[in-house]
Amino acid sequence: MENKFLEMKKIFFIFVAITITLCYVYPQQLTINETLSYINQSLGGITSSSNSRYVYRITLSSNGDFVYYEDYVEDANYNESYSAHISDLVLENFYDGEYPFIFIRCKEGRSGCIRWKGTKVVMPSCLTCKDGGVYHNRQSNESSFSLYSKESSEYSTQKLHNALTYLFALAKEKGMFDRGDSDPFAPQNFNPSSMEIKSSSSSGSIKLSRQGGVFYIPVVIGGITKDFILDSGASDVMISQSFERELIDKGFLRREDYISPALYKIADGSIVESRRLIIPQLSIGNFTITNVQASVGIGSVPLLLGKSVLDKFRNWSIDNQTQTLVLSK
């Protein structure tokens, strides 16, 4: 009887371990399109007529062009839009005494100026407003516009503000703040912490071990060797809180290595927030990779080697016959 109880207990703990592992395999950072979808579902507006119906939406192009649309449902010719490069905009929360809203304005130095010489002259600004209204049909330069949440509550407005803040952070990470300036000292190009692969040879192979249907690869961080799951579906490298503590105690990780947190979608579809950092140096086989972006999993999570490392190589493949990872930089 006691042996049967111990066997059932063992099976239970194995089940729990597998469940935890599956939940955190393939964590995907929330994408720009997913974030935009949430924002567009949350947008509303304040109109003078309760019978007026508008559709509010935001788009963001691959080169960083940010456009906010207000489309009148009853008349396709009546619409308004505000457009600017996302790198020129900043967000602020406001409350006008009646409704909370988000104030999107040009950065200092991008908002133009107003001069008076008998009449007001508005200088060019970062924002272009197009009013397709039947009575206006105009285009002008603006310095700001306002966004409202559907519920028009302080709580829903804060959530919308958080989503927009996250969208701006993602855009910056994806290089959308790049204006095409090839100058090496331009802000978008000057990055002393960019990832670099160092090796005495241009290619190499690393022996993998297979357990429970997944491949494990030995990874050296801060002089400590750990077996990571080789996970081509994960956006980043992921380390556990216990391994993070080891690296902090050893003095390998410092406060300045941490960057803003990010949102990730895990296997069960839920969204989790994870702390992120830049690992100064990581080694696999004969390759040493510097400044690797990683996330810190919550609780007892597996260690994952994801696309933030694999995609930096020119080619990578798994040889199933020899169970090796083949890399070319």
**Residue matched to tokens 């491949």:** 215
Interval 124-148 mean pLDDT:
75
| 41 Cβ neighbours under 8 A, 6+ residues apart | none
Give the domain range for residue 134: 32-173
Return the exposure string of 123-139: e unless at least 16 CB atoms fall within 10 Å of the residue's CB, then b: eebbbebbebeeeeeee
Quick one: 159 and 292 in the same domain? no
Quick one: 64 and 151 in the same domain? yes
3 state DSSP class of 61: coil
Residue range 65-110, pLDDT digits in tens? 999 998 887 776 678 899 988 988 988 887 767 788 998 988 865 5
3 state DSSP class of 196: strand
pLDDT at 244: 93
Whether the full predicted model's pTM is greater than 0.75, yes or no, is no
Per-residue pLDDT at 145 exceeds 80: yes
Which of 15-24, 263-272, 275-284 is the most confident on average?
275-284
In a domain, 132, yes or no: yes
Q: Are the C-beta atoms of 169 and 260 separated by less than 8 Å? A: yes
In a domain, 10, yes or no: no
pLDDT at 22: 47
Helices (H), 115-187: 154-173
Quick one: 42 and 138 in the same domain? yes
Interval 123-145 mean pLDDT:
72
pLDDT at 92: 85
Quick one: 101 and 143 in the same domain? yes
Quick one: 227 and 107 in the same domain? no
pLDDT at 229: 94
Per-residue pLDDT at 158 exceeds 70: yes
State how far the Cα of 161 lies from the Cα of 11, in Å rounded to an integer: 46
Quick one: 270 and 323 in the same domain? yes
Interval 118-143 mean pLDDT:
67
10 Å CB burial of residue 244 (0-12, 13-18, 19+) is middle
Quick one: 51 and 136 in the same domain? yes
In a domain, 51, yes or no: yes
What CATH number does residue 244 fall under? 2.40.70.10
Q: Residue 117: pLDDT band by 50, 70, 90 thresholds?
A: very low
Quick one: 144 and 213 in the same domain? no
In a domain, 301, yes or no: yes
State how far the Cα of 235 lies from the Cα of 294, in Å rounded to an integer: 9
Quick one: 236 and 120 in the same domain? no
Number of structural domains (the chain) is 2
Q: Residue 289: pLDDT band by 50, 70, 90 thresholds?
A: very high
Interval 249-258 mean pLDDT:
89
How far from the centroid of its chain's Cα atoms is residue 256's Cα? Answer: 19
Which of 91-105, 130-144, 240-254, 287-301 is the most confident on average?
240-254
Write down which residue in 173, 208, 238 finishes a domain.
173
More confident residue, 199 or 112: 199
Write down which residue in 173, 204, 221 finishes a domain.
173
Write down which residue in 112, 142, 173 finishes a domain.
173
Quick one: 278 and 239 in the same domain? yes
In a domain, 3, yes or no: no
In a domain, 111, yes or no: yes
Q: Residue 9: pLDDT band by 50, 70, 90 thresholds?
A: low
pLDDT at 136: 57
Q: Residue 311: pLDDT band by 50, 70, 90 thresholds?
A: confident
Quick one: 162 and 200 in the same domain? no
In a domain, 19, yes or no: no
In a domain, 307, yes or no: yes
Quick one: 223 and 101 in the same domain? no
